[in-house]
Structure 1
Amino acid sequence: MTNPDASTDSGAPAAGKRPEEQRLGPVLRRRDKVQAGTTDQRLLDSDGPSEWVHTDPWRVLRIQSEFIEGFGTLAELPPAISVFGSARTPVDSPEYRAGVEIGKALVEAGFAVITGGGPGAMQAANQGAVEAKGTSVGLGIELPFEQGLNPYVDIGVNFRYFFVRKTMFVKYAQGFVVLPGGLGTLDELFEALTLVQTRKVTRFPIVLFGSRYWNGLIDWLKNTVIAEGKASEADLLLFHVTDDVDEAISLVTKEVAK
């Protein structure tokens, strides 16, 4: 007997019968997950819904374009150091002045300066780089409270996605200097420490500037995280702490072969 639900000799399902299996490129759909029509049909149909531009597959292209823009813009940078720090650092504060001096000293040592492109400590480092006539880079991020790139950024890229921006910080820097900062700075710091600790990137120096600010965090790492076996004593060797600009530059650049 023949099965009335069987496909025709051509391999196509019987007229009016929804296929039990559908292959759309690498994607397999079965049973009630099968979609009506074909990929080409949905592409060429001008009367279809427009919400597809907000779907995850479309976002992949946006993400790809951000990587391309970042790689294309930064690929020819000279050796660089990323400087992190708070956007809320006042312009008239000692921390801001230290950021300016660090930016200058990095340029004088032969390095470009990369920051998050915002105000505060980031602006300070960019300002120092500009005053020393060096390369000043800002990698901005789209935020609800829009800040824009500070006026001392000479090469700027604005990103939609944090993870793309973080890739650029790591890929195009030979070391990190971390000034006092908030949650964003801590996020960047621990991201860098994790990448170095897990050897996802070649070891490079990380310098925390401002011992008064960072000592509490270091005590917590020693007395809680390491004491409870969540990290090892060796992890404390992944970074240096200093209050001296010259020492910070020496520590962050000594392992870099320019």
Structure 2
Amino acid sequence: MLALAVLFLAPLLWTAWASVYGPQASGGTAGFGTGNYERLAAYGSGLGRYSLNSLAVSLMTVAGTLAAGTLGGYAMARFRFPGRDLLFLFTLAILMVPYPTILVPLYVLLGWLNLQNSLIGLALVLVMFQLPFALFMMRNAVEGVPRQLDEAARIDGCGPLRTLVRVVVPMVTPAMITVGLFAFLASWNEFIAPLILLSEDAKFTLPTALAAMRSGNHGAIDFGALQAGTLVSAVPCMLLFLLLQRHYVRGFTSGALKG
């Protein structure tokens, strides 16, 4: 396990070292410095702008995914209606479609909705990509909640929505955290969708900005600033996962012992 940990951590540790050591970092002499981070912060519209764009898109994606996934999973697990199973299968079938192939039609659709080159439009597209996994997870989690609790809530006068909020949601919180974590990581690191759907530099997300930096000027690539950007983009994901890893594991096991 220690050998595997070293194998996986070595590239990240090398990136951290390269971002603060060398002539580009120290201003022309071999040594440590923050030159790479200073150039990264001043690139294009600024590191702060790109990071805020990524954060805004990720939070909107998480909120939309949790709302749609929780409501959909509750409906699929608790209500019977014509075409329920077929609708569930069609939603899961989205996973079998290579999503880059449908980005151009989605780009046209966003144009009809006046959401082209928009962070909101990008977040809606990312919610669609996350919905199959969210629906699958939340349906299993809700099915793991005893129906007797729903019946007791109805006796107390709760309707379906109030039962969901008061009874079901507290029981499936680990699954919701797992879904939210997946949605955040996927949207934070997403590259192809922002590349196609966003055309204004001030609205670029962090991965798109780093790709533009990698293209360089006249073939010259600032590898030091690129390594700094890679580390900056990776640190929030690692911290978030470390904070939520306990709920992440519980979320995957919720509903596993149903019945």
TM-score, structure 2 length as denominator?
0.27
Quick check: which one's helix share is greater?
2
TM-score, structure 1 length as denominator?
0.27
